[in-house]
Structure 1
């Protein structure tokens, strides 16, 4: 039973090291056509135009768009339900 404990600790350490490495791979993934469609629907419901640029960064979608007043906006969107989590007006 004593030999099992170091093995479990080793597996826990390997898992802790591997998970951040997997998260680093997220920005390289392009949006699927379904994700683009769902993001466009979410933005339309919020009064935004479709994205002109779209990228996955730090586990969130980053999008450049315009609001109803025609102002350029940078948005951060949830990667789960595409809800707008941050809005920044671009000068």
Structure 2
């Protein structure tokens, strides 16, 4: 993909959303900037680990393109327990 982007007054550029999603450039992600004769190359560092669990979930949601509601662990457990009770008539072991 090729795109023309403008610099802001602060020297910032916006990377198009489809590119950010494709390369997992989520909020706060670190990118490597490499100077080349023909310009500047932005790329993901070879090993980019999530700083927090929330960042890991954000990356996962970007990969699977999930934009639905976010559920807490307790909500997921309660829902599974309810389904188990409905099916087997007893709480989940």
User: Which structure has the highest strand share of the two?
Assistant: 1
TM (norm. structure 1) is 0.26
Q: Report 1 or 2 for greater relative contact order, CA contacts < 8 Å, sequence distance ≥ 6.
A: 1
Structure whose CA Rg is larger: 2
